[in-house]
Structure 1
Amino acid sequence: MVCSRGAAKERRVADSYDYIVVGAGSAGCAVAARLSADTRHKVLLLEAGPADNHMWIHIPIGYARTFLDEKVNWKYETEPEPHLGDRKIYWPRGKTLGGSSSINGLIYIRGIPSDFNYWRQLGNAGWGFDDVLPYFKKAERNVRGGDDLHGGEGGLGVDDMRWRNALSDAYLEAAVQAGYPRNDDFNGHKQEGVGYYQLTTQGGRRCSSARAYLQPARGRANLRILTDALTEKIEIEDGRATGVRYRVGDRVETAKAGREVILCGGAINSPQLLMLSGIGPAEHLAETGIAVRRHLPGVGENLHDHYQCRQLYRCAKPGTMNEAAGSLFGKMKMGLDYAFGRRGLLTVGAGLVGVFLRTRPELEDPDIQLHFIPFSTDKMGTSLHDFPGFTVTMNQSRPQSRGRLTLRSADARQYPAMVANYLADAADRRAAIDGLKAVRRIAQQPALKDWIAEELLPGPKVQSDVEWLDFLRGNGGSIYHPAGTCKMGPANDTMAVVDERLRVRGIDGLRVADASVMPQVVSGNTNAACIMIGEKCADMARADAA
């Protein structure tokens, strides 16, 4: 009996923390690691998924293996999209330590200065490019070293491409021939142009947020990392977040937070948890049977994403991953190249060559991003073609179409309902059509003449704007950058969920730090910006506690 009472008392003490961080993704790992660096603070990091010990997480090309793996992937899907012929769009999101940084395509893009200056212009003081650049630099360990725009000593490995070949060089040259300038650093003084991407890898292995932040912090006595723990509700007392309720298997536990609860669940899970806790649009919460603790109409609104469309090409000669993956010898060579040098095709991310371009000369910044990928397939996550081929994806950088996220029920285990409303805005449709035309124009340049046997998708039958739009609506999908569902904004913005210090409006002791706070998604891949948000959040939390 004495042992039983002692064990129960010990558990209650262990369930009290200064900070509780919900979600060990791109931002959450940074927040937990930075806050726990102060030994005076006890930090609990809750992750709904398992530990990041899946072999394919750590091999760069492994994103193709985890793309459909429910062990480490939430495998979300939108509701029928009204402007895409009522197609449902697949949204993979990471469910493991590192979150989506453990299953993404590894491309390191921050966005451009005007992205963050726009956030500041909306009334979010402290979020201009000059304000956020120090946090990007703090996080970054660039293989090229540090300078005025890059960090060389952070935890997030950023490496140059470790594999390229004659085809990728030819594609780069074709883009130059099409009129796009050569650019060796998309995160440098300008984004526009064509060049090889840098990846979030280090020594040829993926550098997820978990590897960058949690691995060095694991030995800290004041940091507890709990996996397979689904947070179901934020506990609120007298207008203050005091802890969380979470589920591990069939057991429901409660943890108390003396200072703050910080949500880092991403653009889907953070608004879902707020609404499950009674924070959100009052009418919708009432419909779901949830008691309203704080009416915030913007929770779940402003949902937007980069919409992509793939164009496929059959090659006239070998030089793609299709041939290597299609033979025993090719697979053995890929494995040996990686095992004995961390080189070769297994080090490739979800883009080898990138192009950032303007569809109209009067634009100040690029509005389209391209990814050249050295393989082709009918559907992402499935077998490659049995002939040489490559893919070019196109997405608009700054979508204007907006959707929303809502609850299906008060059960945290039931996925929310999302409609991104892709292509609802005429400007999105115009930019995407012009972006697809640019892909074809690059493919028609002399540098690729000896490489391309035929355009497989959409094929030469598509010529007019009407035909391009039909192709776009019937074949596009997400490039997996949902954002905006807990947007940051000033007090006079009735749809703002958090203020410029990421504090949830009307609830003390509660912040959100992830892609959901972005008023407008950044112009490019979102992982680096989410890590920056986590770094900045940790600083603000420490400053507010001083």
Structure 2
Amino acid sequence: MAQTPNASIRRPLADDASDTHFDFIVCGAGTSGSVVAGRLAANPDVRVLLIEAGGDDDHPEVMEPGQWPLNLGSERDWNFSGTPNPHLNNRSIPLNMGRTLGGGSSINVMVWARGHQNDWEDFALASGNEAWSYQSVLKIYQRVEDYWGAPDPLRRGESGPVHVASAERPQPVAVALLEAARQIGIPTFDSPNGAMMEGRGGAAINDLIVKQGRRQSIYRAYVHPRRGQANLTVLTDTQVSRLVWSGKRVVGVDVVRQGRLERFTADREVILSLGAVNTPKVLMQSGIGPEAELARHGIPVIQHLPGVGANHQDHVSFAAIFEYERPQEVGHGGSEATLYWSSDSTMRLPDMFHCQVEFPVPSAENASLGVPEHGWTMFAGLAHPKSRGQVSLSGPEVTDAPIIQAGTLSHPDDLRCALDNIRLVQALGAQDAFKGLVKRESLPGQLSGAALENYVRNAAVTYWHQSCTAKMGLDDMSVVDGSLKVYGVEGLRIADASVMPHITSGNTMAPCVVIGERAVDEIRAAYGL
């Protein structure tokens, strides 16, 4: 039964949309949503509506790589926080998420990390669809990338929409990190996106989405060049409220725009690309999700799917901070080198995910321990944490904030892995490669035992890679199938990080581009486009 807007709310036509009727409605102009909307709009016979809750991306904080930290906490951020976590000394850590054209790709650190070979093999196995296998995904990356780096025709593309290049003229501390890795027996590579992620891992200078000194978000790569096309409508400052139903088929969306409720309909499909927090929120508030959760808020159940909001995963990291001998410049937004490593050579996937930042970044709780004015940070991260969280509802309305119980460090193995990661970073920082550049290790220093564990609990921060809350798979907790269609309903797909069966090794932006491309492949096949 179709949900009817409150009669007291007027529903005028959108003042920048010529119609309220489209073939496809894409909800969310973040990484995956931009891919889906841009690719579909390439067909002039297909009418596409792209809806974004945030505003325009044309701000210095977005476009200038070095200003990315200024987006955090701004109007371009959803400003989510996790609930108080007993495993983090009851801290409520920020869980920033992009709220602007381009989503996370407009406010992140611009790192292009494609995931490990076995991430994609796992996706294929979980979904029962070989289109997610590593060899299939390599072909997607080849058509996506406009890669400027060491030639690798087996793995890299040269004429795609996404400009990817190795950080140009990396700072001395980034170069020293690679040498330090070699000194402790970790191999280095020309790129973190080729052979390095087909084995145990290694260290490399980052690939970035920076072109001629400017950020090239995924929105800028896929959608911005098509603005003005008659078949593409982009609405900003417009928040999706809920799905519109005809029986068990999704036929459109209700949105809140300029304080009023409006309705848009889709002849073919609605694609949710709202991210791993807002996608399950909209699903549940529209009647798709765990029966008990929906009943708690008086929401009629359209389709019972217990996996909606479950399986929340994120990359967590812990800062080790080193003091410079003398002040150093910051290059390319401050993150120019990375290291992935498997602590055990028999592992299928790396368990260590370290990201270098060229300035000191302590958590608020550890800042009082003494932070150098000039220094660099190595974020010792968990590539595949075992802890799991949950996204649930605080109420049935669009204005009711989601509840995020991230569960960080709730699995005891994650604390042990965190300590191993810190020790590896300390070993790196002690290498001769940093002589003359680094004066000393500032944090955590000589802590051990309970004191070091307490430091880790206070240091834990997110890499902003929330995912897996509407996972793809074949089991009872899966929300979408291998073609990203939501189980039990028609006319609805999901394309964002929420569909990952498990989080990928490394930053999630590039895998979200693949998810968008896969959604488009399936849509084109379904409708002969």
Contact 1:320-1:375 within 8 A present in 2 as well: no
CA offset at residue 320 of structure 1?
4.4
Shift of the alpha carbon at 1:499? 0.6
Structure 2: 5+ residue runs without aligned partners?
1-11
Q: Does 1:55 align with 2:60?
A: yes
Residue in 1 that maps onto 2:353: 369
Q: CA 1:8 to 1:369, structure 2 compared with 1: closer, same or farther past 3 Å? A: closer
Mark the CA change 1:438 to 1:225 in structure 2 (over 3 Å): closer, same or farther: same
Aligned partner of 1:409 in structure 2 is: 395
Matches within 5 A, 1:70-219: 71-125=75-129, 126-144=131-149, 147-191=153-197, 192-219=201-228
Aligned CA distance change for structure 1 residues 146 and 175 (closer, same or farther; 3 Å): closer
Structure 1 residue 95: Cα displacement: 0.5
- Residue deviations 1:377-401, cap 9 Å, x none? 4458x9x977321111011111121
CA distance in 1: counterparts of 2:362 and 2:191, whole angstroms: 31
- Say yes or no: does 1:483 pair with 2:495: no
2:509 to 527, 531, 535: 527
Measure the CA separation in 2 of the matches of 1:449 and 1:162. Answer: 23
* Candidates 249, 267, 277, aligned match of 1:268: 277
The residue matched to 1:219 in structure 2 has which SS? coil
The alignment partner of 2:268 has SS state of strand
2:73 alignment partner in structure 1: 68
How far apart, in 2, do the equivalents of 1:9 and 1:454 lie? 59
Provide TM-score, normalisation by structure 2: 0.92
* Closer, same or farther: CA 164–13 of 1 in aligned 2, 3 Å: closer
**5+ residue gaps, structure 1:** 1-6, 322-344
Give the direction of change, closer, same or farther, for the CA distance of 1:489–1:9 in structure 2 (3 Å limit): closer
Q: Which moved more, 1:104-113 or 1:10-19?
A: 10-19
Q: Distance in 2 between matches of 1:359 and 1:536?
A: 32
Q: Which amino acid aligns with 1:351?
A: S
Cα distance, 1:312 vs structure 2: 0.8
- Of the three residues 258, 270, 276, the one matched with 2:267 is 258
The alpha-carbon distance between structure 1 residues 89 and 443, as it changes in their structure 2 partners (threshold 3 A), is same
Q: What does 1:419-498 correspond to in 2, within 5 Å?
A: 419-460=405-446, 462-464=447-449, 466-490=450-474, 493-498=475-480
What amino acid does structure 2 have at the position aligned with 1:250? G
CA contact (8 A) 2:323 2:440 kept: yes
**Which secondary structure does the structure 1 equivalent of 2:154 belong to?**
coil
Q: Work out whether residues 107 and 349 of structure 1, in 8 Å CA contact, stay in contact via their aligned partners in 2.
A: no
Secondary structure in 2 aligned to 1:20? strand
Q: Does the Cα contact within 8 Å between 2:371 and 2:443 map onto a contact in 1?
A: no
Stretch of structure 1 that moved more, 53-62 or 358-367: 358-367
* Distance of 1:448 and 1:379 partners within structure 2: 24
Question: How far did residue 146 of structure 1 move?
Answer: 6.5
Question: Is the CA contact (8 Å cut-off) linking 1:240 and 1:508 kept in structure 2?
Answer: yes
Of stretches 364-373 and 239-248 in structure 1, the one that deviates more from structure 2 is 364-373
Q: Distance in 2 between matches of 1:534 and 1:427?
A: 33
Identity of aligned residues (%): 34
**Corresponding residue number in structure 1 for 2:4:** none
The 3 A distance-change label for structure 1 pair 202 and 320 is closer
Q: CA deviation at 1:518?
A: 0.1
Q: Does 1:360 align with 2:344?
A: yes
Report the Cα distance in structure 2 between the residues aligned to 1:352 and 1:105, rounded to whole angstroms.
10
Q: For each residue in 1:103-158, what CA deviation from the matched residue of structure 2 results, as whole angstroms up to 9, or x when unmatched?
A: 00111101011001012222431211112222222211111366121111111111
User: Structure 2: which amino acid aligns with 1:50?
Assistant: G
Q: Write the letter of the residue equivalent to 2:56.
A: A
* Alpha-carbon distance in structure 2 between the residues aligned to 1:293 and 1:430: 42
What displacement does 1:277 show?
0.5
Would the aligned equivalents of 1:108 and 1:199 in 2 still touch at CA under 8 Å?
yes
Q: Is the 2:472–2:499 Cα contact (8 Å) retained in structure 1?
A: yes
Give runs of ≥4 in structure 1 deviating > 6 Å: 7-13
How many residue pairs get matched?
Answer: 508
1:194–1:355 contact (8 Å) kept in structure 2: yes
CA distance in 1, matches of 2:172, 2:456: 30
The 1:498/1:477 distance shift into structure 2, 3 A limit, reads same
Q: What SS does the corresponding residue of 1:122 show, helix, strand or coil? A: helix
2: CA distance between counterparts of 1:159 and 1:253?
A: 42
Q: Name 1:418's counterpart in structure 2.
A: 404
Residue 7 of structure 2: aligned partner: none
Alpha-carbon offset, residue 276 of structure 1: 1.0
Query: What residue number does 1:299 align with?
Result: 308
State the alpha-carbon separation in 2 of the partners of residues 90 and 218 from structure 1: 33
How far 1:362 moved relative to its partner? 2.9
Aligned to 1:324: none
Deviation at 1:427, TM superposition (A): 2.6
